[in-house]
Amino acid sequence: MFERKMILSKRYYIETWGCQMNEEDSEKLSGMLANIGYEKTLFKDQANVIIFNTCAVRENAELKVYGNLGALKKLKRDNPELIIAVCGCMMQQKGMSEEILKKYRHVDIVFGTHNAYKFPEYLERARTEGVQVKEIFEKETDIVEGMPITRESTVTAYVTIMYGCNNFCTYCIVPYVRGRERSRKPEDILAEVRDLVSKGYREITLLGQNVNSYGVNLEQDINFAGLLRLVNEVDGLERIRFMTNHPKDLTDDVIEAVRDCSKVVEQVHLPVQSGSDTLLKSMNRGYSKEGYLETVRKLKERVPGVAISTDIIVGFPGETEEDFLGTLDVVETVGYDTAYTFIYSRRKHTPADRMTEQVPDKVKHERFNRLVEAVNRKSLERNSACLGNICEVLVEGQSKYDPEVLQGRTRTGKTVNFKGEEELIGNLVKVRISKVGTFSMNGDRVV
Ligand code: 5AD
Ligand code: SF4
């Protein structure tokens, strides 16, 4: 009886693959569902709406979606009322939504990244008409403001400042699935930040595929550095993060804004992708290894203690051992606090997919392992420098493994675990670092 009741009530389950943009989109989908009376569940078998918000950046992410979709067939058989929706970047690829609907007959709704705001309408149609609903907009729309949102955290929040990307790096599918760059108006961004602060949020992350080109298409005369300075003035806000940057566009005025604005943290994510000029050129990145290192030097000089993180791809078409050594050299020279490492994945319709010199899998994996070794060694080195220091930590929540342990982050974005009471969540506390690892640190609260 109990189980039946659970299924009859309005519950949704949402699974998100990919980047922070997708996470924020899922928070908006959750907001729309909350508006029409749905509650979130963490269990698929208790949901009557299941949403998969997909990522298309690498093949691996897509394979996971296929596997998970297959596994839903049984749930749908047991509960024919269940509505299954698939959305996100994967759906924006040519022919993909048709393929999903054909291969997975139990999927009820597919929609793309540009029309997520219409989800409640699709849900209603799937329910009342009992047909598969599909709508994908090929092109981006004007920005839809004022969408409801149910955020995952009560302490930190994402604030999207721009959508889309104009860069067309040759390996990347994002410009094809997220459309061209559009910036939100500064007044809309500020209103959202003020509203977040009034609800108790202490930290925000300004999001965009390339935040450095913020403002380009706006009537107002504003750029990213100007926006940082405006957001820095919001009373009650403690920390401002931003991501992601493009090395070719991270100009001096942004570095100076990071230096001058007390709320902007000392952490910059600066994806290098490769340390070989030949590859940077064929990736269409628009900077050289030396140009990148020069930006890093400026950052380190003007923002003392800055933590730098990056994204790196190994096995891009044509990558030679020498090219790869160039990448390892950047890792050694910069000494990243964190680096996200990726094996090149062929994406249909991108220029790199048509390049002839694809690197064999075995070579890709061998280089990947060497890269990970260097990246982890450097992260540990950087974290070791914090040993004994007293850091300011914004407490974000309890550890998954031990409710007596709290988890938070330093201004430089490092995860810190320490013993403390739940009441501290949402506060800035001082923690003396007593133990460091590659990915996180432990410490004791200092009062
Ligand atoms: N293969 C591997 N990694 C990729 N990325 C983007 N496209 C690909 C691809 N085809 C990586 C880049 C980017 C990050 C978000 O994902 O490093 O910065
Ligand atoms: Fe992809 Fe390049 Fe745009 Fe980043 S800047 S989203 S890697 S095309």
Task: Tell me the CA–centroid distance for residue 310 and ligand 1, in Å.
Answer: 11
Is residue 311 in contact with ligand 1, taking CB distance under 6 Å? yes
Report residue 5's pLDDT band, with 50, 70 and 90 as the boundaries: very low
| 87 labelled ligand-binding | no
Question: Rounded distance, CA 1 to CA 7, Å?
Answer: 10
Mean pLDDT, the chain, rounded, equals 95
pLDDT score, position 403 = 87
**Which ligand 2 atom minimizes the distance to the CA of 284?**
2
State which amino acid sits at residue 323. D
Is residue 313 in contact with ligand 2, taking CB distance under 6 Å? no
In this predicted model, what pLDDT tens digit does every residue of 227-251 receive, in sequence order?
Answer: 999 999 999 999 999 999 999 999 9
Homologous superfamily (CATH) of 2-135 is Methylthiotransferase, N-terminal domain (3.40.50.12160)
Residue range 416-430: average pLDDT? 96
Residue 3 has pLDDT above 50, yes or no: no
In this predicted model, what pLDDT tens digit does every residue of 254-291 receive, in sequence order?
Answer: 999 999 999 999 999 999 999 999 999 999 999 999 99
pLDDT score, position 139 = 87
Question: Rounded distance, CA 193 to CA 213, Å?
Answer: 20
Residue range 408-436: average pLDDT? 97
Is residue 56 in contact with ligand 1, taking CB distance under 6 Å? no
| 19 labelled ligand-binding | yes
Task: Tell me the CA–centroid distance for residue 128 and ligand 2, in Å.
Answer: 40
Question: Rounded distance, CA 238 to CA 247, Å?
Answer: 26
Residue range 195-211: average pLDDT? 96
Q: Ligand 1 pocket test: which of 59, 172, 279 has the largest number of ligand atoms within 8 Å of its C-beta? A: 172
Report residue 150's pLDDT band, with 50, 70 and 90 as the boundaries: very high
Q: How far is residue 109 CA from its own chain's centroid?
A: 24
The domain spans of the chain are 2-135, 390-446
**Which ligand 2 atom minimizes the distance to the CA of 165?**
3
| 391 labelled ligand-binding | no
Is residue 271 in contact with ligand 1, taking CB distance under 6 Å? yes
- Protein residue with least CA distance to atom 2, ligand 2: 169
pLDDT score, position 230 = 98
Is domain 390-446 classified as CATH 2.40.50.140? yes
Report residue 8's pLDDT band, with 50, 70 and 90 as the boundaries: low
Question: Rounded distance, CA 207 to CA 15, Å?
Answer: 20
State the pTM of this model.
0.93
Nearest ligand to the CA of 352 is 1
Residue range 322-332: average pLDDT? 98
pLDDT score, position 142 = 87
Task: Tell me the CA–centroid distance for residue 165 and ligand 2, in Å.
Answer: 6
Is beta strand 109-111 parallel, antiparallel or unpaired with respect to 133-135?
Answer: parallel
Residue range 150-178: average pLDDT? 95
Q: 2-135 and 390-446: same fold?
A: no
Report residue 1's pLDDT band, with 50, 70 and 90 as the boundaries: very low
**Which ligand 1 atom minimizes the distance to the CA of 352?**
10
- Protein residue with least CA distance to atom 2, ligand 1: 344
Q: Ligand 2 pocket test: which of 165, 279, 292 has the largest number of ligand atoms within 8 Å of its C-beta? A: 165
For residue 303, give the nearest of 252, 338, 339 by alpha carbon. Answer: 252
Is residue 212 in contact with ligand 2, taking CB distance under 6 Å? no
Task: Tell me the CA–centroid distance for residue 230 and ligand 1, in Å.
Answer: 31
Q: Residue length, the chain?
A: 447
Residue 421 has pLDDT above 60, yes or no: yes
Is residue 168 in contact with ligand 2, taking CB distance under 6 Å? yes
